[in-house]
Structure 1
Amino acid sequence: MNLFAEFSARIVDMVQALGLKTASGEPLDMARVAVELPRDVNHGDLATNAAMVLSKAVGTNPRQLGEQLAAELAKDPDVSEVSVAGPGFVNIRLADGFWQARLRDILAAGTDYGRSKAGAGRKINVEYVSANPTGPMHVGHCRGAVVGDALANLLAFAGSEVTKEYYINDAGAQIGVLAQSAFLRYREALGEDIGDIPAGLYPGDYLVPVGQTLADRFGRALLEKPENEALALVSDETIDAMMGMIREDLAALNVHHDVFFSERTLHADHAKAIRSAISDLTLKGHVYKGKLPPPKGQKPEDWEDREQTLFRSTEVGDDIDRPLVKSDGAYTYFAADVAYLKDKYARGFNELVYVLGADHGGYVKRLEALARAVTDSQVELTVLLCQLVRLLRNGEPVKMSKRAGEFITLRDVVDEVGRDAIRFMMLYRKNGEPLDFDFAKVTEQSKDNPVFYVQYASARCYSVFRQTKEHLGLDRPDRAALSENTHLLTDPGELALIRKLAEYPRVIEAAAQAMEPHRIAFYLYDLASSFHAHWNRGTDNPDLRFVRVNESTLTVARLGLVQAVSDVLTSGLAIVGAEAPEEMR
């Protein structure tokens, strides 16, 4: 139950029951009516702007309309107090019984509490990572991997049908360089002294085992084949090896894709898929022969001063028209994008999400324009850009990895701090903002380390049940028993904790709508903070402790609150992609 949506609906019903209409007798437009948390918690549990946004249409002042709505709200049995503040904000305080009933709802739903149908009917493709298969994952891929994966988890939890997709960039010049680099390592595995790796090739040691595998499989046979034939075989073997390494690196981060889409399939059979996609755009009037004007500033790689086949992208929102065919007759990289987007549309997706690095900012308008042209604006496209991550150790930059040759590998980071710390901290700042990741801080056991603080709250929940067994000899009660006496939970700290739990469905729906998975990490930290604060109150005041040795009925009621906190922490951490531990070591 999204209590904010619930009370919005109640207010709409009240407006209708009061017979409020516009001055001309038309029904009121309720679209701008909102129910939110009040700015000051001392004002109540909820606040609505209904009087503010409806008063002009009704023909009265906001304060008077606010008083009228407050009088009606006061009749609601779930409402204990209503007041009108300022020019007409209506503040609502809810009865203890309302919150106690919400706790029963949470216990009945378990870790499914907050799961929504708000996204029903949305078939969403979330493409993320999509790194070139030219080496192991590096830390630059990490943030996009986490943001994309957590977003997909969030959208699915909010009711959408979601596919997690990885686009394998296994066509183009970089694959030729990869094949040459692996062939060099193959010769090395056969005993040849290859000397220093030539400039322009991939120098990382990660290609050494690939060379050995090629030597074991082919012996010296590749040396006897024409170069293009040998490199084609090496390319296939190396891409498979690199993708195997990438899958392992992603799995170490708890990232698992549903689909791995190969760019080479678009170029198969004389680029049939690309030709078909361009033909479709041509029939729609989006393709023409022409010249592009010289670009201002730096020239893009695909600009040529000649008549060429162009996508009329400026008519669908882009800054410039885009070339589709190179001077040598080969298709541009963008032409493959056309075919790929068409393929996604043909698979039935009505929303496409691309999670890209900050250096891909120039792709946003061209992808949006492409979606409008290919799908006749039937598909909604969203591009999320992930800003850079700076790795630090006690405030100092971390050095590069020798194994990779040029960068810090994702696996290096996972092995040192663990996947949970990485996933949580990569979400503990909005994706569009730069992020500092300090190895020392993310392994620190303190409130200043958000992932520790949240997981410690989970471990504390489990410790309460162990204490109950130890001190009362009471096994973990079932959920029905935990729900029986929620009316005993009347302490302000207990009710405040239930209020925080009750926010979760709204957080889920709002985060999914905005495509902002970082909101889940922020909420979990706030929930953990509320739980720890109440725990500390029990340290100072034994009457507030969860386990009361001589009051088993009250203890079981409080265990219900602990179980609810545990459920929501487990649910939220699962969306983040982290564990909810039973104990901290």
Structure 2
Amino acid sequence: MNLFTDIRSLVIDSLTAMTGEGALPEGLDFANVAVEPPRDAAHGDMATNAAMVLAKPARMKPRDIAEALAAKLAADDRVTSAEVAGPGFLNLRLAPGIWQNVVKSVLDAGTDFGRSETGAGKRVNVEYVSANPTGPLHVGHTRGAVFGDALASLLAYAGYDVTREYYINDGGGQVDVLARSVYLRYLEAHGQEVAFADGTYPGDYLKPVGQALKDKAGDAYVGKGEDVWLAEVREFSTDAMMALIREDLAQLGIEMDVFYSEKSLYGTGKIEAALEALKSKGLIYQGVLEPPKGKKPDDWEPREQTLFKSTDHGDDVDRAVMKSDGAWTYFAPDIAYHYDKVERGFDELIDIFGADHGGYVKRMKAAVSALSDGRVPLDIKLCQLVKLFKDGQEFKMSKRAGTFVTLRDVVDAVGPDVTRFMLLTRKNDQGFDFDLDKALEQSKDNPVFYVQYANARICSTLRKAAEQNIAADDATLAGADLGLISDPAQLAVAKKLAEWPRQVEIAARTHEPHRVAFFLYDLASELHGLYHQGKSNEGLRFVNESSQSATHANLALARAVSVVISAGLGILGVKPAEEMR
């Protein structure tokens, strides 16, 4: 049930009727006609821009269209008034029974209320985290992990067939550095003194890996050159790091469907096949790139390279895929990886990158556009940096990692649910200051507490009702006399519930899961406001000792809020709280 979609259909039907009557010219496009909540709730329940967007193509005054449309809409039983405002906006008020029926719809559908078929089963690949397998996940990875996982859940809720994927960057030189670092810990496990050279990884997290390597290989690698141990230690170390990363992700309740190895692209013909696909389209050529911006002429040595004509697909400059010495650039395996995604039949691709990958966006979009002939859209979301604060000071370092704050540091400090919710209270492209103390604060200013407290308050009320032998199961509440939900404060809660399906569709369409967190905060605010009004108005109390009918109606409204909060928190990967301690 999406009430806004229903009323929009009413508007479109009315406009179609006006066209048939000659009140509007034939051939108008109604695609941009919208129905949404008004900016000011005092103006009505819903507003439509129909007259404003149709005035120019219809060559009519918007107010004339609005007045004629208002008369059509007011004839429908669902609409109690249709008022023209300003130059031609149309504000609608709906019958109370419409909002009361929303409560029943929530209770009948449960947490499926708000699910939609917007995605129509389209296959979408969401790639996120994809950290180099050289150490534990840090706080920056945490934000990308939470954002990507919530987005995947949101899309699944909206009817998409979602694959969660992690791209293991195990094909580059950084994994050789990991292997050398583990080798030093391996020697240390044999009692040798070691020194970490610049560029190696000195974190304590590699100590157990070095010990495990000793347990497996004994002294077989001691005193031997890299030609003996590098390849084997590289594979051993990568496996160990990926096991650590999987454990980190499990701390946040994240499970991937696919772990895709970059290394699997090398020596298998997959890179060559992807570039051949581009070459067949006339997009691969030999050439010399212009000097990078900011380089002085004497710093630049032009070399002929194999280039991808990415400018044909929206990039600023063409990009090298093979160096003059015949080695692949970093871009080449990424092209092959995305070609593999296209070949796997996905209808849409989403990549979640860190803030430092902004320069990679256009070239990657160009590659996917070229490889799929524009059929498969690629959306790249950049997650900006997170700064952690504790006791008023920036929290900068993990002793275990050596140089950064880890995912586990954050989860250990505030728990997985708080971590997830808090990181989703900002849009992904905005920087985020994460105050660990405020995240645990019990106040309205802490959004996760405020939302969880609303759900816990409802659960507590339902438990108390049961203790008083008041039937409060969903079936009973759905059959309550919901016509008793008539006070403006009650209807405000029901109206907010009605927005949930619309918010799901908007958030899924824009790939913005933070909208879910914002909505839950607003819904919780309406619930808390109603609860406090009940202190002075007996008719609004969830348990009304004077009327069992009123009690069932009020409990039905409260329970509907809990259902929607639970659905929203489920998308965010947060467990609803049934009591606060």
TM-score, with structure 1 as normaliser: 0.96
Percent identity, please: 55
Q: How many residues align?
A: 578
Q: 1:287 to 1:499 in 2, by over 3 A?
A: same
Q: State the distance in 2 between where 1:407 and 1:98 align.
A: 53
Match for residue 562 of structure 1? 558
Q: Deviations over 1:139-183 (max 9, x none)?
A: 111111111111111111111111111100011110010000000
Q: State the distance in 1 between where 2:348 and 2:11 align.
A: 32
Match for residue 9 of structure 1? 9
Match for residue 495 of structure 1? 491
Q: State the distance in 1 between where 2:305 and 2:93 align.
A: 67
* 2:71 paired with 1:68: no
Shift of 1:285: 0.8
Are the counterparts in 1 of residues 477 and 555 from structure 2 also a CA contact under 8 Å?
A: no
Helix, strand or coil at the partner of 2:286? strand
Q: 1:292 to 1:104 in 2, by over 3 A?
A: same
Are the counterparts in 2 of residues 23 and 57 from structure 1 also a CA contact under 8 Å?
A: no
Q: 1:25 to 1:295 in 2, by over 3 A?
A: same
Q: 2:284 aligns with which of 275, 284, 287?
A: 287
Q: 1:571 aligns with which of 561, 564, 567?
A: 567
Match for residue 176 of structure 2? 176
Match for residue 310 of structure 1? 307
Shift of 1:225: 5.4
Shift of 1:21: 7.5
Q: Mean alpha-carbon deviation: is it higher for 244-253 or for 474-483?
A: 474-483
Helix, strand or coil at the partner of 1:222? coil
Q: State the distance in 1 between where 2:473 and 2:205 align.
A: 53
Shift of 1:487: 1.3
Q: Deviations over 1:427-465 (max 9, x none)?
A: 111111111100111010000100000011110110111
* 2:316 paired with 1:319: yes
* 2:327 paired with 1:330: yes
Helix, strand or coil at the partner of 2:437? helix
Amino acid at match of 1:458: N
> Moved runs in structure 1, 4+ residues, more than 6 A?
21-24
Amino acid at match of 2:455: S
Helix, strand or coil at the partner of 2:520? helix
Helix, strand or coil at the partner of 2:143? helix
Are the counterparts in 2 of residues 394 and 441 from structure 1 also a CA contact under 8 Å?
A: no
Q: 1:318 to 1:214 in 2, by over 3 A?
A: same
* 2:206 paired with 1:210: no
Amino acid at match of 1:380: P
Helix, strand or coil at the partner of 2:331? helix
Shift of 1:479: 2.1
Shift of 1:541: 2.2
Match for residue 256 of structure 1? 255
Amino acid at match of 1:554: A
* 1:146-225 matched pairs, under 5 angstroms: 146-194=146-194, 196-223=195-222
Amino acid at match of 1:579: K
* 2:407 paired with 1:410: yes
Q: State the distance in 2 between where 1:282 and 1:477 align.
A: 64
Shift of 1:49: 1.6
Q: State the distance in 2 between where 1:258 and 1:243 align.
A: 15
Q: State the distance in 2 between where 1:482 and 1:505 align.
A: 19
Shift of 1:560: 1.1
Are the counterparts in 2 of residues 3 and 502 from structure 1 also a CA contact under 8 Å?
A: yes
Match for residue 227 of structure 1? 226
Q: State the distance in 2 between where 1:333 and 1:207 align.
A: 26
Q: 1:551 to 1:378 in 2, by over 3 A?
A: same
Helix, strand or coil at the partner of 2:345? coil
Q: Mean alpha-carbon deviation: is it higher for 140-149 or for 202-211?
A: 140-149
Unaligned runs of 5+ in 1: none
* 2:548 paired with 1:552: yes
* 2:447 paired with 1:450: yes
Q: State the distance in 2 between where 1:3 and 1:474 align.
A: 31
* 2:269 paired with 1:272: yes
Are the counterparts in 2 of residues 138 and 407 from structure 1 also a CA contact under 8 Å?
A: yes
Q: State the distance in 2 between where 1:496 and 1:142 align.
A: 36
Q: Mean alpha-carbon deviation: is it higher for 558-567 or for 227-236?
A: 227-236
Match for residue 359 of structure 2? 362
Unaligned runs of 5+ in 2: none
Q: State the distance in 2 between where 1:64 and 1:399 align.
A: 62
Q: State the distance in 1 between where 2:71 and 2:319 align.
A: 61
Helix, strand or coil at the partner of 1:408? coil
Helix, strand or coil at the partner of 2:84? strand
Helix, strand or coil at the partner of 1:413? helix
Match for residue 469 of structure 2? 473
Q: State the distance in 1 between where 2:360 and 2:476 align.
A: 53
Q: State the distance in 2 between where 1:224 and 1:63 align.
A: 87
Are the counterparts in 1 of residues 24 and 58 from structure 2 also a CA contact under 8 Å?
A: no
Are the counterparts in 1 of residues 25 and 58 from structure 2 also a CA contact under 8 Å?
A: no
Q: 1:130 to 1:21 in 2, by over 3 A?
A: farther
Are the counterparts in 1 of residues 539 and 550 from structure 2 also a CA contact under 8 Å?
A: no
Q: 1:361 to 1:535 in 2, by over 3 A?
A: same
Are the counterparts in 1 of residues 203 and 403 from structure 2 also a CA contact under 8 Å?
A: yes
Are the counterparts in 2 of residues 482 and 559 from structure 1 also a CA contact under 8 Å?
A: no
* 1:521-560 matched pairs, under 5 angstroms: 521-560=517-556
Shift of 1:50: 1.5
Q: State the distance in 1 between where 2:378 and 2:437 align.
A: 38
Are the counterparts in 2 of residues 21 and 58 from structure 1 also a CA contact under 8 Å?
A: no
Q: State the distance in 2 between where 1:107 and 1:23 align.
A: 42
Q: 1:396 aligns with which of 387, 393, 402?
A: 393
Shift of 1:329: 2.2
Shift of 1:22: 7.8
Q: 1:56 to 1:338 in 2, by over 3 A?
A: closer
Q: State the distance in 2 between where 1:440 and 1:23 align.
A: 62
Q: State the distance in 2 between where 1:103 and 1:311 align.
A: 56
Shift of 1:18: 2.8
Q: Mean alpha-carbon deviation: is it higher for 116-125 or for 473-482?
A: 473-482
Q: 1:482 aligns with which of 474, 478, 485?
A: 478
Match for residue 239 of structure 1? 238
Match for residue 37 of structure 1? 37
* 1:332-351 matched pairs, under 5 angstroms: 332-351=329-348
Q: State the distance in 1 between where 2:59 and 2:308 align.
A: 53
The RMSD of aligned alpha carbons is 1.7
Q: State the distance in 1 between where 2:173 and 2:96 align.
A: 66
Amino acid at match of 2:493: L
Shift of 1:121: 4.0
